[in-house]
Amino acid sequence: MLAFGTASLDAEVVKEKLLFYETDLTDLPSLNKIFEQHAREILGVLHFAGLKSVSRSVSHPLEFFHSNVVGSWNLFHCMAAHNITNIIFSSSASVYGSPERVPIPETEVLKPISPYGETKIVIEKLLHMLGTTGKITSVIPPDIRDLVGTLSALLPAPTADLAYPATLGANNENPSLWSVVILRYFNPCGAHPSGLLGECPKDTKNSNLMPVLAKVAMGELPSLTVFKSVLNTKDGTPIRDYIHVVDLAKGHVAALGKFSTQEVHTFNLGMGKGCSVLEVIEAFREASKRDVPFAVGATRAGDPPILIANVQKIADELSWSAQSDMKDICTDFWRWVEESPVGYCS
């Protein structure tokens, strides 16, 4: 759990002072202290935390299962202990793998092709149990039931000496059903239009596309490697549904309306339109007025060729739709880069 702010960010973007703590969801005692202090003030939880690089998950799968699944289990345990039953979870389009239907509806078969996507499915399954029964018990498949304890033994964490409960809420005869909203992100990118809030990862090897484009445009990297698609897309590069981060945030605000429904709701968050990597490069060149050299590399493991959201359900149920296009995304991100060329270190 990490939140941060500056005086200008609080004043111009958030409009009020933020209270924040920095901790790790795999550190159960630390996490529980926060809940003990603020339980009465917490209406619900927006769960964004976790590792997210598809490529790194392929080379470090245990690290991803430990951080994402164990961390989520700890969070759900703290929520249940303090009777907090509203949650919005940041899932991912990676749960669909290489889908048969495009645009992809929420009812598409889930068959991820990366460990990252697998972690999201495990967490979704746990949330479905909490939303339909109010508890997690031994009726779940053994591979999921034993995952928390197994990973704790394999990867020592700050809570390695703490016994994880084998079940959650199993002894409660009348548990409260949770209100769960699962938001399957497609490809969030861009920055806040103010130029005060954006993305500047230290590790560009496993980062999103937009920060790498910016570093190439500024001359900090010599060129961008564009990974080929495993299928014949329109220009030979993967096609993705890119969504502006501000639209994404507004989608979460809309999802708050599902709190206290005691149901599980799943929605795609995307534009409903796809852009190839080469089309994104061209849009970034136009926004930045800079050249972006690139070289075509091999196909990347765990990388589906086409991911485009079917967004009809969220439009019908939450009256939400994305408003920004790729030009807006690139323009806002370049503004952030010009305002903060070294990120928050500036």
DSSP conformational letter for 309: B
Average pLDDT over residues 107-111: 95
Question: Tens digit of pLDDT for each residue in 35-49?
Answer: 999 989 999 999 999
Question: Tens digit of pLDDT for each residue in 262-292?
Answer: 999 999 999 999 999 999 999 999 999 999 9
Confidence of residue 150 (pLDDT cuts 50, 70, 90): low
Look up tokens 């901790």; give the residue.
Answer: 23
| Structure token pair of residue 169 | 């809420």
Look up tokens 């969504």; give the residue.
Answer: 243
Look at strands 86-92 and 45-47 and give their pairing. Answer: parallel
Instruction: Give the C-alpha distances (Å, rounded to integers) separating 265 from 28, 175, 183, 344.
Output: 27, 19, 8, 35
Average pLDDT over residues 185-214: 87
Question: Tens digit of pLDDT for each residue in 224-265?
Answer: 988 877 667 788 888 999 999 999 999 999 999 999 899 999
Confidence of residue 202 (pLDDT cuts 50, 70, 90): confident
Helices (H), the chain: 7-9, 28-38, 54-59, 61-64, 71-81, 115-132, 142-145, 147-154, 209-217, 245-255, 277-288, 312-318, 326-339
Say if residue 70's pLDDT is above 90.
no
Domains of the chain, start order = 7-345 (3.40.50.720)
> Per DSSP, what are the bridge partners of residue 242?
187
Cβ–Cβ under 8 Å, residues 241 and 306: no
Average pLDDT over residues 310-332: 97
Contacts with 5 (C-beta within 8 Å, 6 or more apart), sequence order: 14, 18, 20
Amino acid at 200: C
Cα angle value 253/255/258 (rounded, 5°): 130
Contacts with 254 (C-beta within 8 Å, 6 or more apart), sequence order: 314, 318, 319, 320
User: Which of 56-70, 191-205, 237-251 is predicted with the least confidence, judged by mean pLDDT?
Assistant: 191-205
Cα angle value 327/271/236 (rounded, 5°): 75
What pLDDT does 163 receive?
41
DSSP string, 251-289: HHHHHGGGTTS-SEEEEEES-S--EEHHHHHHHHHHHHT
* Higher-pLDDT residue of 106, 74: 106
Which entry of 21, 96, 116, 242 is annotated as an active-site residue? 116
Instruction: Give the C-alpha distances (Å, rounded to integers) separating 108 from 123, 211, 240, 310, 312.
Output: 17, 31, 17, 10, 14
Nearest to 54 by CA among 64, 44, 62: 64
Say if residue 84's pLDDT is above 80.
yes
What pLDDT does 95 receive?
94
Amino acid at 103: P
Amino acid at 323: Q
**SS3 for 216?**
helix
Nearest to 9 by CA among 191, 189, 195: 195
What pLDDT does 166 receive?
53
Say if residue 1's pLDDT is above 90.
no
DSSP conformational letter for 20: -
Confidence of residue 342 (pLDDT cuts 50, 70, 90): confident
Confidence of residue 296 (pLDDT cuts 50, 70, 90): confident
Please give the distance of CA 275 from its chain centroid, rounded to a whole number: 20
Question: Tens digit of pLDDT for each residue in 162-173?
Answer: 344 555 665 666
Average pLDDT over residues 192-206: 82
What pLDDT does 304 receive?
78
Cβ–Cβ under 8 Å, residues 327 and 283: yes
Say if residue 158's pLDDT is above 50.
no
**Residue 164 among the catalytic residues:** no
Report the predicted TM-score, pTM, of the whole model to 2 decimal places.
0.87
Report d(CA 305, CA 301) in Å as an integer: 11
The whole-chain average pLDDT of the chain stands at: 85
Report d(CA 96, CA 101) in Å as an integer: 10
In the chain, pLDDT over 90 holds for what percent of residues? 55
Average pLDDT over residues 97-121: 93
DSSP conformational letter for 325: -
What pLDDT does 180 receive?
97
